[in-house]
Structure 1
Amino acid sequence: MIPVLFHLGPLTVYSYGLMMALGFLAADYVIRLECIRRGLDPEYSSSIVIAAAVAGLIGSRVYAILDDLPTYLADPKSMIFSGSGFVFYGGMIGGLLGAYLVSRWYRIGLGVTMDMCAPALAIGQAIGRIGCQLSGDGDWGLPSTVPWAMSYPKAIVGWSPDTVLKLGDHYQLVPACSSVADCLNVRVHPAPVYETILYVGVFIILWSMRKTSHPAGRIMYWYLLLGGSARFIVEFWRVNPRVFYMLSEAQLIALGMMLIGAVGLILTREKNPAVKDQGEKVSREAVGAARA
């Protein structure tokens, strides 16, 4: 675990930030390959990723602040100057909004754009979770005795009774240890590793779909279904408050993603696959017009 890579004067380079940057670069590469395959301007990928990165970081931070407002109000500077406190769902919402605005600017079909973004989202998530693992930002799981369980003594959010938690009798979070020294004996599920593995699997599935004729937007619906399922499963081992029976807030959102994805797949099941080719033709013409 390496939460801080190095310092450049007053600048601190965090491992989470580096992996997040690599995730954006990987997403840009994936979308660029799709632009080339579809006959679109490769620079369209950079426009999408830059807009999604900026909007995603803002959305992620805003979500984190609103989700734990009392803590941030107690230390307002941490709203900006902190290496932790980014939430994926806020980042996804902001990133998709950024991609939507770029697609409108270029006059590219939203369905086509979302299909190119879906595999990129999955691989970006996989790499981003490696950053969570390296930094110890609190995304680990519940205490466990499985052989691969581990501790995070150098976690950026600390490894203490305040962060090493377990589920109580009524599914509330309670300390899993009584002191910092006691916490060193606790091992937990490496939940970020689980998510990395699952999201790589989601990426492989989505990437294999891209050359199959299908209505525009269908790959994104598959992402919502598969990505939501992955998060829903991992949450059973994550240290997050249970807000509805045994389910966490993230699981409820994941269920919403899965529902939207399933409904979208049903609604597009009978559509003519030729819609895809027509959408790509219109998109190529739109990019040419935008460049002109």
Structure 2
Amino acid sequence: MYPTIIDFGHVGNFGPIGIHSYGLMLATAFITSTFVIQHELKRRGFVSDVAGTIAIAAAAGGIVGAKIYAALLDGEFTLEELFSTSGLVWYGGFIGGCLGVYIVVHLSPNPTLATIDIIGPTLLLGYGIGRIGCLLAGDGDYGPPSDLPWAMAFPNGTVPTDVPVHPTPIYETLVSFTFFGILWSQRRKLEDIPGVLFGASLILLGVERFFMEFWRTTPRVWGWMTGAQLFSIVAFIVGIVLIFWARSRPPIEAAAAVVETEVEPTKQASPPRKRRRRR
């Protein structure tokens, strides 16, 4: 594959500099998700300028979260590691990104739950785009050896292999895009119950990652399950709890209807006053 698209070589004291396929696709994922979020914020009449801040918070929180999680696994953490391109553990980045985004959304003038619902489907969109970067980089996210017609080898990858293997990033991209399409097509039906769309996004994200781990060579940490599978179970449960909690609250339309029925009788109970004739 192509882990480095353009290599500028050593530049001064900065060391080797280049445009890497994984970083490029990660940037593409953030930019694409930002445009989608901005479009939806405008459509729903919310402040759309916050979309860029959301993307920055997601990127910064994701990098810091991934680095901290990797440091906890390795038992060491340095400032040099914080600015390196290694150690980007996905679920650590997901937690850090979610925290950063929540802070920004909570401080914005937009309603928190409704805005998070808009962000939810873009998790799957961005994840699918990011997996294209994993495929191009050949970073070891591929699966076990396979003799299927579409099996691929990664002799020039970041984690090279000459043996044809399952191109798991392709599977993940296709499934993520499919799930995004389902959520995107149903978003208007679900937006009257804030929290449901984000909960559904967590469920589908958990389902996708849980089953895709069977086609990856990730080390098992608890029985037959990987760390990502354990995290996926947590995401699945949180998504279900969020949906049940959101559905227990009165929907927007129902609340508006209650307000109208309370206001209308008051209007009808006070007939217009008759004017006195001047004599």
Would you say same fold, with TM above 0.5? Answer: yes
TM-fit CA distance, 1:98:
1.2
TM-fit CA distance, 1:273:
2.4
Are 2:62 and 1:56 aligned?
yes
Are 2:259 and 1:257 aligned?
no
- TM-score where L is the length of structure 1: 0.79
**1:12-44 Cα deviation digits (max 9, x unpaired):** 211100000000001101100111111112211
TM-fit CA distance, 1:61:
2.4
Which residue number corresponds to residue 2 of structure 2? 2
**1:122-152 Cα deviation digits (max 9, x unpaired):** 1110100100110111111112222211111
CA contact 1:60–1:91 (8 Å) conserved in 2: yes
Which residue number corresponds to residue 175 of structure 1? none
Which AA in structure 2 matches 1:120?
T
TM-fit CA distance, 1:276:
9.4
TM-fit CA distance, 1:218:
0.8
TM-fit CA distance, 1:107:
3.9
Are 2:181 and 1:204 aligned?
yes
CA contact 2:142–2:168 (8 Å) conserved in 1: yes
**1:228-273 Cα deviation digits (max 9, x unpaired):** 0000010011111112221111101101111111222233334432
**RMSD of the alignment, in Å?**
2.2
Are 2:40 and 1:34 aligned?
yes
**Secondary structure at the residue paired with 2:153?**
coil
Which AA in structure 2 matches 1:89?
Y
Higher RCO, Cα 8 Å, sep 6+: 1
Match of 2:252 among 260, 274, 284: 274
TM-fit CA distance, 1:89:
1.1
Instruction: Rate the CA distance shift 1:276–1:50 in 2: closer, same or farther, 3 A.
Output: farther
Instruction: Rate the CA distance shift 1:275–1:66 in 2: closer, same or farther, 3 A.
Output: farther
Which AA in structure 2 matches 1:79?
E
Which residue number corresponds to residue 198 of structure 2? 220
TM-fit CA distance, 1:277:
8.7
Size of the alignment, in residue pairs?
249
Which residue number corresponds to residue 171 of structure 1? none
Are 2:209 and 1:231 aligned?
yes
Alignment of 1:1-292 (within 5 A): 1-8=1-8, 9=11, 10-67=16-73, 69=74, 79-80=81-82, 82-156=84-158, 158-159=159-160, 184=162, 186-212=163-189, 213-274=191-252
CA contact 1:30–1:119 (8 Å) conserved in 2: no
Distance 2:154 2:71 in 1: 24
**1:208-232 Cα deviation digits (max 9, x unpaired):** 1221143111111001111100000
Distance 1:253 1:154 in 2: 31
CA contact 2:59–2:97 (8 Å) conserved in 1: yes
**Unmatched tracts of structure 2, length 5 or more:** 257-279
Q: What is the percentage of aligned positions where both structures have the same residue?
A: 40
Instruction: Rate the CA distance shift 1:42–1:108 in 2: closer, same or farther, 3 A.
Output: closer
Distance 1:26 1:62 in 2: 26
Distance 1:221 1:15 in 2: 31
Instruction: Rate the CA distance shift 1:106–1:268 in 2: closer, same or farther, 3 A.
Output: closer
Query: Moved runs in structure 1, 4+ residues, more than 6 A?
Result: 275-278
- TM-score where L is the length of structure 2: 0.82
**Secondary structure at the residue paired with 2:174?**
helix
**Unmatched tracts of structure 1, length 5 or more:** 160-182, 279-292
Distance 1:35 1:192 in 2: 30
CA contact 1:123–1:199 (8 Å) conserved in 2: yes
Distance 1:6 1:20 in 2: 16
**Secondary structure at the residue paired with 1:243?**
strand
CA contact 1:84–1:137 (8 Å) conserved in 2: no
TM-fit CA distance, 1:82:
4.3
Instruction: Rate the CA distance shift 1:215–1:147 in 2: closer, same or farther, 3 A.
Output: same
